[in-house]
Amino acid sequence: MTHDLTLPSGSHTAEGLAERALRDPHRPRFHFTSPGGWLNDPNGLSHWNGVYHLFYQYNPLSAAHHRIHWGHATSTDLVHWTDEPVALVPGTDGPDRDGCWSGVLVDDGGVPTLVYSGRHGEQELPCVARGSADLRYWTKDPANPVITAPPEDIDITAFRDHCVWREGSGENQVWRQLVGSGIRGAGGTAFLYESDDLRSWRYVGPLLTGDASQNRGELDWTGTMWECVDLFRLGEGDEAGSTDALVFSAWDEGTTHHPLYWTGRYQGDTFTTTALHRLDYGERYFYAPQSTRDEHGRRIMFGWLQEGRTDEANAQAGWCGVMSLPRVVTLATDGGLHQAPVPELTELRRERVEVAPGRPAGPYTRLHAVRGDQLDIETTLRLAPGATARLVVRETPDGAERTVVEVSRAHDGASGTLRLHRETSSLDPSVDTEPRYGTLPLDPDGRVDLRVLVDHSALEIFANGRALTARIYPTRPDEAVGVGIGADGDVTLERFDAWRMASAFTDGPRPLWP
Ligand code: DQQ
């Protein structure tokens, strides 16, 4: 299949966005996408009276990041989503005239309340909106912006995005808020504020500041600004048995780099770090994540899968931006975060294909029984020192286009690598085909639990709890449905199951303004 690059005049207008989006073979079918137009960060994530609410950065007018609204969708199972009325629209004037940027939802004594960044000109400032009981209709606070300027006397790189929580007990309860920022000449930071009513905020100070002079250009560079800071505790108790995580997305001069997190301890007005980690090896393909603790006590996280094709291709497609599958985040045994898709997603599994356990036959075997562009593949492998296993997806019959997921174990046996080769994922020279990789934690037995979810252009990989998310755009999408496995060295296939995944959305266009 090739894209029709000639479009009738007017096709870049809002007209027909949802219809065009539907025809795009690269559009995922079981990941959440906007009805059409542009989608970026997850916002206001919450589980409210049994209903999951996913708000998101949305431009219903074009597939471009401009005058951002808050889209809204609900779900009772984290699998099927219902579009709800657009929650926030930029004002005709006022602090959010140029966009309602990222933020969160909190429960203010039973009143659903959004805290978001209003954009006016080049400046973003904190704003508040209160919701109806069903979270469908939102009224902006006349006092917006509720913080009228960034902290005085600090030369900042930017100031936006919010993490808000209630802290303390009885009379001493207080709202606390982090606003993502950066201190010029120092590094990214999260400014801490305090409030009694979500309206009037007292500046406390920087909770933690990174050092932008360290590791510039590396995959764990902390950037000059921290976008979408998210602070949460995993595990129970104050000290032993629990860890705090401070998640942020490293940004610099308009470039979205990658999501990172510090583990450590939040106490008083500071965050004492233990270690810095990469959150997703796909870098900007899992950006601006936000999480919430659901009513079952699980930490659920979503991130934004950016596009890897050109702005022009996005405009022609009529849509862009994918929401990740919801992930359950838990504490890994090595002190980092373990990520896995929510178990609810198995509801979409259809025909199962099982491959007999054993040793993968040589460098490559095409699995003719497994085919598709909507797949969930779950496998357990055992790697001897020096061995590499490969899982190939979205392969054309001639092998000209193929995407390779690779797990390998170092010769000394101690460490491993998870790698995604996208170099041959598409013959289209205009799409991003850079490889991605990161460390794979391995026990001495060399066991790798690998899960690969393929949803047209969206790919989510989980290997021993580490995530790697990316996008791929084969030029012959209808033919790029092949799957295969291969190995170099001593690899045992202990289990291999694959399922076709049903679509989570119906076939018709979804209204841009539900
Ligand atoms: N996206 C939002 C910002 C945030 C960035 C604007 C992260 O609030 O910093 O759409 O992708």
Q: What pLDDT, on the 0 to 100 scale, is given for residue 260?
A: 99
CA of 126 to the centre of ligand 1 (A): 13
| Cα gap 106→119, rounded to integer Å | 21
- Ligand 1 atom with the smallest distance to the CA of 68 is 10
Residues 6+ apart with CB under 8 A from 483: 366, 367, 370, 371, 372, 375, 377, 391, 392, 393, 395, 498
Could you report the per-residue pLDDT of 169-197, keeping only the tens digit for each?
Answer: 999 999 999 999 999 999 999 999 999 99
Amino acid at 224: T
Tokens of 213: 């002079």
98 an active-site residue? no
Note the Cα 491 to chain centre separation in Å.
32
**Residue pLDDT, tens place only, 401-424:** 999 999 999 999 889 999 999 999
Pocket residue to mutate for ligand 1, from 38, 39, 40, most atoms within 8 A of Cβ: 40
CA of 227 to the centre of ligand 1 (A): 7
Which residues lie with the beta carbon below 6 Å from any ligand 1 atom? Answer: 40-41, 57, 68, 101-102, 117, 160-161, 227-228, 256, 287-288
Strands annotated E in 93-134? 100-108, 111-120, 123-131
pLDDT of 73: 98
Element (H, E) at 19: helix 17-23
Mean pLDDT of 284-290: 99
CATH 2.60.120.560 in the chain, residues? 344-501
- Exposure of 82 in the CB half-sphere (CA atoms within 13 A): 10
**Residue 12: pLDDT above 80?**
no
Q: Ligand 1, atom 6: nearest CA belongs to which residue?
A: 101
Nearest protein CA to atom 10 of ligand 1, as residue? 101
Q: Where in the chain is the domain with CATH 2.115.10.20?
A: 28-341
Residue 36 carries which side chain, given as an amino acid letter?
G
Torsion-angle region of 11 (φ positive above 0: left; ψ -120 to 50: alpha; else: beta): alpha
In whole angstroms, give the CA distance from residue 11 to residue 62.
10
Write out the DSSP string of 458-470: EEEEEETTEEEEE
Lookup: tokens for 258: 């990658």
Span from the CA of 143 to the centroid of ligand 1 (angstroms): 23
From the alpha carbon of 41, which atom of ligand 1 is closest?
Answer: 11
The token pair at 265 is: 């301890």
List 41, 161, 230, 280, catalytic entry = 41
> Which whole number is the average pLDDT over 457-469?
99
Distance 150 CA to ligand 1 centre (A): 17
Cα of 100 from ligand 1 centre, angstroms = 10
Average pLDDT over residues 119-129: 98
Buried b (16+ CB within 10 A) or exposed e, 348-359: bbeeebebeeee
Across 394-401, average pLDDT: 98
Please tell me the distance between residue 141's alpha carbon and the centre of ligand 1 in angstroms.
21
Cα distances (Å, whole numbers) of residue 136 to 245, 258, 260, 446, 487: 31, 32, 32, 49, 52
- Ligand 1 atom with minimal separation from the 304 CA: 11
pLDDT at residue number 237 = 66
CA distances from 434 to 18, 118, 307, 356 (A): 30, 35, 13, 33
Query: Which range has the worst mean pLDDT, 24-38, 237-251, 296-310?
Result: 237-251
pLDDT confidence tier of residue 465, bands split at 50, 70 and 90:
very high
pLDDT bin (cut points 50, 70, 90) of residue 8 is very low
Which of 159, 227, 251 best tests ligand 1's pocket when mutated (most atoms within 8 Å of CB)? 227
* Cα dihedral across residues 463, 468, 474, 478: positive or negative: positive
For the segment 3-11, the average pLDDT, to the nearest whole number, is 36
Q: Cα separation of 371 and 356, whole Å?
A: 17
Given the candidates 3.40.50.720, 3.10.180.10, 2.60.120.560, 2.40.50.140, the CATH classification of the domain at 344-501 is: 2.60.120.560
> What is the CA(461)–ligand 1 centre distance, in A?
24
**Rounded distance between C-alpha atoms, residue 80 and residue 83, angstroms:** 10
Q: Which fold has domain 28-341?
A: Tachylectin-2; Chain A (2.115.10)
Nearest atom of ligand 1 to the alpha carbon of 124 = 8
In this structure, are strands 482-488 and 365-371 parallel, antiparallel, or unpaired? antiparallel
Q: Over 60: is that where the pLDDT of 3 sits?
A: no
Q: What is the pTM of this model?
A: 0.96
- Does residue 444 surpass a pLDDT of 60? yes
Q: In what order do the strands lie in the sheet with 242-252?
A: 225-235, 242-252, 255-267, 270-278
Mutate-to-test residue for ligand 1 from 119, 160, 257, highest number of ligand atoms within 8 A of CB: 160
Nearest CA to ligand 1 atom 5: 227
Which of 228, 247, 302 most suits a substitution to test ligand 1, by most atoms within 8 Å of the C-beta?
Answer: 228
Q: Tell me whether the omega of the peptide bond preceding residue 150 falls within 30 degrees of 0, making it cis.
A: no
pLDDT at 291 over 50: yes
CB 163 within 8 A of CB 175: no
Distance CA 392, CA 474 (A): 13
Of 81-85, 157-161, 308-312, 361-365, give the lowest mean pLDDT range. Answer: 361-365
